[in-house]
Amino acid sequence: MVGIRKIGQIRRFLDRETTTRLMHAFISSRLDYCNSIHVALPKTLLRKLQMIQNSAARLYVCQTKHRDHITPILHELHWLPVKEGVNFKILLLTYKSLHALAPRHIDNVLTPQSLCRNLRSNSQNRLVPAKVKTISYGHRALSYAAPMLWNSLPNYIKDAQSVVLFKRLLKTYLFNKTY
């Protein structure tokens, strides 16, 4: 990305806080923009996006060497990896859809699980994943990925009373799971 190079050219004149803000404004915002559609990307392309985030964190914010491990740096900056950012966005859309805060076309993709018998699992707020025809691409569809991610969440996160609380609990959960 051109933004990383331009920030790198003026990095020696900036303090760490200003550099972090610039990275969020020009790099992270582009990585996060519409990242819910990144669920359909193959791992090779997600890896390229991760490399952009890693170089932004490593070289320009923390000024560490290329061979230094990136996990402690991302942990220190409190940045989720790209794949977890995509999962965060998918789960946020799912939460909003279940609480009638999302666009209607997303509501049509998600189907709540309803059982004909009264079981304990009825209270777990689960979704039914769509049936997929192709293994390689079907698992990347929102209709399959969103229910699978949603069903893997603990109930205390799914039962959050507001979007703000849900986002906070979800980011903490994904952050702790990753690091």
10 or 161, which is more confident: 161
Q: State the average pLDDT over residues 150-173.
A: 95
Q: Which of 121, 124, 98 is closest to 109 using CA atoms?
A: 98
Place of tokens 């997929």: 132
pLDDT range class, residue 119, cuts 50, 70, 90 = low
Q: State the average pLDDT over residues 121-133.
A: 72
pLDDT range class, residue 143, cuts 50, 70, 90 = confident
Domain locations in the chain as residue ranges:
2-79, 85-178
pLDDT tens by residue, 87-109 = 999 999 999 999 888 888 777 77
Buried b (16+ CB within 10 A) or exposed e, 67-86: eeebeebbeeeebbbbbbbb
Amino acid type, 90:
I
pLDDT range class, residue 20, cuts 50, 70, 90 = confident
pLDDT for res 73 = 86
